[in-house]
């Protein structure tokens, strides 16, 4: 299971990559492997400001559907349009080409409350 060092993680298996006051969000390698083949990604919240824990969109695998939850308070700036035609990028490259949305953070310090790579690794081992 790949867990890059430079990201922060949630208990729902989202990752967030912070670049000053903007950030990218996606789902972890563990999440994509649990979901299986992803066939549809829907994000209709671009332009909205959402609170931590709210659903910013949904991921449909062949067998199941899962929400993607906000790891922090932020505005949704952009949806990764490539996922419209290639939802399988979430399976193939969950931390790269498979990013889901770009966010503008309401308070960048909130990210410090999320798990770092070591903590997330320990969390996965506890599941």
Partner 1 sequence: MLKNTAFTKFHIALGAKMVPFAGFNMPVQYEGLIAEHLTVRKGVGVFDVSHMGEIWVKGAKAFDSVQYITSNDVSKLYDGKVQYSCFPNGKGGIVDDLLVYRINAETYLLVVNAANIEKDWNWVCQHAEKMGMVVGKEVYNASDEIAQLAIQGPLALKAIQKLTPEPIENMEYYTFKKLEFAGVKDVILSTTGYTGSGGCEIYMANEDAEKIWNAVFEVGADFGIKPIGLGARDTLRLEMGFCLYGNDIDDTTSPLEAGLGWITKFTPEKNFIDKEFLLKQKQEGLKRKLVGFEVIDKGIPRQHYSICDAQGNKIGEVTSGTMSPSLNKPIGMGYVPVELSNPGSEIFIEVRGKLLKAVVVKLPFYKGE
Of positions 60, 75, 110, 116, contacts partner 1 by CB under 8 A: 60
Give the list of residues 6+ apart from residue 60 with CB closer than 8 angstroms, or none.
38, 39, 40, 41, 42, 87
CB 77, CB 104: distance < 8 Å: yes
Is residue 63 a contact point for partner 1 (CB under 8 A)? yes
Closest distance to partner 1 from the beta carbon of 2 (Å): 17
Is residue 110 a contact point for partner 1 (CB under 8 A)? no
Residue closer to partner 1 (CB basis): 36 or 96: 36
Three-class SS state of 94: coil
Q: Among residues 16, 32, 18, which one has the least CA distance to residue 115?
A: 16
Of positions 6, 19, 21, 37, contacts partner 1 by CB under 8 A: 37
Closest distance to partner 1 from the beta carbon of 37 (Å): 5
Paired strand residues for 60: 40, 65
Binding site for partner 1 (CB under 8 A): 36-37, 39-40, 42, 58, 60, 62-63, 65
């Amino acid at each position: 299971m790949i867990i890059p060092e430079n990201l922060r993680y949630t208990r729902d298996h989202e990752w967030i990559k912070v670049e000053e006051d903007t950030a990218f969000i996606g789902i972890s390698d563990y999440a994509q492997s649990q979901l299986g083949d992803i066939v549809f990604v829907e994000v209709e919240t671009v332009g909205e400001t959402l609170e931590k824990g709210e659903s910013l969109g949904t991921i449909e695998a062949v067998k199941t559907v899962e929400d993607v939850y906000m790891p922090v308070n932020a505005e949704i700036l952009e949806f990764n349009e490539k996922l419209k035609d290639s939802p399988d990028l979430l399976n193939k490259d969950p931390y790269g080409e498979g990013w889901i949305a770009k966010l503008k953070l309401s308070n960048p310090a909130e990210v410090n409350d999320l798990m770092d790579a070591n903590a997330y690794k320990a969390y996965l081992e506890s599941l």
